[in-house]
């Protein structure tokens, strides 16, 4: 079941990543699209596929929110790092490279916080329902 979901998410991510790459190429290049842009488009698609496909880590019930978030961040960061360096999109001394990494880290902290608060609320609701059920059982 998880593999099917990962595959579907990965395919969607590939399309989205490819489209984002095309947008970057069109907005950042006076040449427009050409055959030399194909590797960038394909790798943008691969990045999108990996980022969306690996989001199934949040569906592993045995894993904590922290473990899932850190795992997903490390997967996405590692692939980002490899793509950026191998495709020469940025150099390590480029401040924008580090700004993007900082933004990614902040985004993942926000993702973790939202997930944590949502789970905490769900647990509170479950406990309230359980207490109501117990009260009804004791009243009978």
Residues 14-26 have pLDDT tens digits of: 999 999 988 888 8
Structural domain that includes position 56: 2-139
Whether residue 72 contacts residue 55, with contact meaning beta carbons closer than 8 Å, is answered with: yes
pLDDT for residue 127 is more than 70: yes
Q: How far apart are CA 52 and CA 11, in angstroms?
A: 9
Q: How far apart are CA 133 and CA 136, in angstroms?
A: 5
Q: Give CA–CA dist 59/131, Å, rounded.
A: 28
Altogether, the residues listed in the chain come to a count of 140
Contact assessment for residue 49 and residue 83, using Cβ atoms and an 8 Å cutoff: no
Where do we find the tokens 């609320």?
Answer: 121
Number of domains in the chain: 1
- pLDDT at residue 136, as a whole number: 83
State the pLDDT at residue 29.
67
- Higher-pLDDT residue of 92 and 31 is 92
Instruction: Dump pLDDT digits (tens) for 77-119.
Output: 999 888 888 878 788 898 998 999 999 999 999 999 998 999 8
């Amino acid at each position: 079941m998880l593999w099917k979901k990962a595959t579907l998410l990965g395919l969607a991510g590939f399309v989205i990543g490819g489209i984002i790459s095309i947008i970057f190429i069109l907005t950042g290049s006076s040449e427009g699209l050409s055959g030399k842009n194909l590797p960038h488009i394909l790798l943008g698609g691969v990045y999108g596929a990996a980022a969306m496909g690996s989001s199934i880590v949040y569906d592993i019930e045995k894993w904590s929110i922290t473990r899932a978030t850190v795992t997903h961040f490390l997967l996405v960061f590692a692939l980002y790092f490899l793509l950026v360096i191998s495709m020469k999109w940025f150099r390590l001394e480029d401040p924008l490279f580090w700004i993007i990494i900082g933004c990614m880290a902040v985004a993942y902290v926000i993702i973790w916080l939202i997930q944590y608060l949502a789970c905490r609320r769900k647990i509170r609701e479950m406990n309230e329902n359980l207490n109501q059920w117990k009260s009804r059982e004791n009243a009978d």
